[in-house]
Amino acid sequence: MEPLDALNEVAFRLEHERAPGFKVKAFRRAAGIVETWSAEELAARLADGRLKSTKGIGDRTFEIIAQAAEGRVPDYLADLRARAGEELDPVGAELRALLRGDLHAHSDWSDGTTDIRSMADAAIALGHEYQALTDHSPNLKIAHGLTADRLEQQLGIVAALNEALGGGDASGFRLLSGIEVDILEDGGLDQQPGLLDRLDVVVASVHSKLRSDRSTMTRRMLAAVDDPHTDVLGHVTGRLVEGSRGTRPQSEFDAAAVFAACAANQVAVEINSRPERQDPPDDLIRVALDAGCLFSIDSDAHAPGHLAFLDLGAARAAAAGVPADRIVTTWPLDRLLAWTARNR
Ligand SMILES: [Zn+2]
Ligand SMILES: [Zn+2]
């Protein structure tokens, strides 16, 4: 096994287990160091003992590199593989196989843990045809939301990355530009309209005043869904059902009215795959189904390993009986982009 692959897989699996960031960091850092060495350089450092004293290589990462270099699966990785969750049930697996990409993920430009390239590489490794990069908007200061200037700068980086990957053709993968834009208290979107017009995908989400009364929240969400820039309504209820941030009840709003507006505007209702969100709840997925909504199964990844949460979203959508054709992330890229361009 290649030491670099072993380190990357360890990091990916720890992220998927939602291990704390500091725990994962050592492995990503070591991978970054090993990546700069040729196979000969690595072998020489192993042979003469320099590897052990290399800054950024600790006991655990050394052990992984050494065991991988011996041509075997490192013990630490074998343990991680062994405790990975059960396989998807057949219905969930069937739907998961139809998913071509993911419209919601963060990089270290906002509150993600890794750079844009690492997210794209992980999406490619998962077999995605496209991955949207949707960092936060300025209002979400705690998550270092992107100002218009920073988003503009990021657009240049996304374009350059796609160019480096072969212009979206040769590699069969494209990183989509995007944003997870805050739905402000008046229902407006927290970014310049001219800039939103230029993005491939706009996910609009509520991140503040989640406990507003029902009519206030309904008005706010309806305004956001009626905004011609909105493509996906993110984690619709804001609930947290488990995890390190504790639990949070779902926000109160007129789901029938909001989902009717989503259907009328062809705004996809997000099935947020994060284990701690599982949003919307099952009963609301049914309301959205009956309303005729489109859906998007998204990871809301904040680290490469989180991209694999799509399995959970696919299982929930399959269990709820959502037809594959109503899920925009089963669509080929050209159909997907024609849909997001409908009002641009
Ligand atoms: Zn969010
Ligand atoms: Zn997000």
What is the CATH classification number for the domain harbouring 266? 3.20.20.140
Q: SS3 of 75, please? A: helix
- pLDDT computed for residue 83 by the predictor: 86
Encoded tokens for 203: 């996910």
- pLDDT computed for residue 169 by the predictor: 55
Percent pLDDT > 70 in the chain is 98
Q: SS3 of 56, please? A: coil
Same domain, 78 and 208: no
| Residues 23, 28: Cα–Cα separation, whole Å | 10
Q: How far is the CA of 182 from the centre of ligand 1 (A)?
A: 8
Q: 10 Å Cβ neighbour count for 337?
A: 17
Same domain, 139 and 17: no
Same domain, 55 and 182: no
Same domain, 250 and 297: yes
Task: Tell me the per-residue pLDDT of 229-244, one tens digit each, with 9 for 90 and over.
Answer: 999 999 999 999 998 8
Q: How far is the CA of 62 from the centre of ligand 2 (A)?
A: 34
Percent of the chain that is helix, strand, coil (3-state, to 5): 50, 10, 40
Q: How far is the CA of 179 from the centre of ligand 1 (A)?
A: 10
Q: How far is the CA of 250 from the centre of ligand 2 (A)?
A: 16
Please say which residue of 82, 115, 135 terminates a domain.
82
Q: How far is the CA of 342 from the centre of ligand 2 (A)?
A: 23
Same domain, 106 and 124: yes
Same domain, 120 and 178: yes
Containing structural domain, residue 23: 3-82
Q: How far is the CA of 141 from the centre of ligand 1 (A)?
A: 13
Tell me: pLDDT of 170 over 70.
no
Mean pLDDT to the nearest integer, 144-172: 88
Of 87, 135, 156, 106, nearest to 303 by C-alpha is 106
Same domain, 64 and 109: no
Q: How far is the CA of 205 from the centre of ligand 1 (A)?
A: 6
Looking at the structure of the chain, the number of domains it has is 2
Same domain, 111 and 78: no
Instruction: Give the pairing type, strands 232-233 and 201-205.
Output: parallel
Q: How far is the CA of 180 from the centre of ligand 1 (A)?
A: 7
Encoded tokens for 99: 């998913």
Please say which residue of 48, 82, 116 terminates a domain.
82
Mean pLDDT to the nearest integer, 212-216: 97
Same domain, 186 and 78: no
Residue 343 pLDDT level (bands cut at 50, 70, 90) = very high
Please say which residue of 50, 82, 114 terminates a domain.
82
Same domain, 32 and 167: no
Same domain, 146 and 251: yes
Q: In this structure, what is the dihedral angle of CA atoms 272, 119, 5, 88, given to the nearest 10 degrees?
A: 20
Q: How far is the CA of 70 from the centre of ligand 2 (A)?
A: 40
Q: How far is the CA of 69 from the centre of ligand 1 (A)?
A: 40
Same domain, 224 and 256: yes
Tell me: pLDDT of 299 over 90.
yes
Encoded tokens for 315: 């299982």
